[in-house]
Amino acid sequence: MLERLQREFGVTDINELKPGLTSLKVARDKTETLIRELRDREGYTHLNFMTVIDYIEDGIFTIVYMLHNYDNKDTLSIHVDIGRDGEDMVSIHHLWAQAWTYQRELREAYGIRFPGSPRLDEDFVLEGWDQIPPMRREFDTKKFSEERFGHREGRSSEEPREHMKVNLYPNRGGDEQ
């Protein structure tokens, strides 16, 4: 099957991560056709999930589609590279109904658009979010927290090792005589 996918879809970077789990890479413009082929002809009938890897240094996102075949108990990890700067990705919600939920999440978390996907522009988790998508690597979590929440009176930070030594374990810690 993998040899045929290489010939017909230009699949590359085939890697058996462990028995029953193989990853491969496909070009963006062949993704939907490949995924449909895997579902309809090869028995990969379950979309486990979709996620994204942010390769900020390379200027790309890798969208990962995890597909499972219950008959042979194999899982395929399909990797697709797209640009980080506003590049759209084809929607697969018409292949699996739950895909629109993953696509909505990825739009909100990374800013990736899936044209035609239902309810794509509705808030998913981050109601009223006005910052850059928070899962992008350039999002500064510490700066956001300091600006949004600031210092609150009555809160203090303790150095964990010293706090535990003094308050939780005063008779341990290696310096008792």
pLDDT tens-digit map of 6-16: 999 999 999 99
Q: Partners of 55 in the beta sheet?
A: 60
Domain contains 155 = no
Q: What pLDDT does 161 receive?
A: 84
pLDDT digits over 143-157, tens only? Answer: 988 888 877 777 677
Q: How far apart are CA 29 and CA 35, in angstroms?
A: 12
Helix (H, G, I), strand (E, B) or coil at 48: strand
Q: pTM for this structure?
A: 0.82
Q: How many domains does the chain have?
A: 1
Q: Is residue 163 part of a domain?
A: no
The answer to the question of residue 139 being in a domain is no
Give mean pLDDT, residues 77-93: 95
Instruction: Answer whether residue 157 is part of any domain.
Output: no
Give the model's pLDDT for residue 142: 86
Backbone angles phi, psi at 114, to 5 degrees: -125, 85
pLDDT band with cut points at 50, 70 and 90 for residue 117:
very high
Cβ(117)–Cβ(103) under 8 Å?
yes
The residue range of the domain holding 110 is 2-126
Asked if 98 contacts 91 with a C-beta cutoff of 8 angstroms, the reply is no
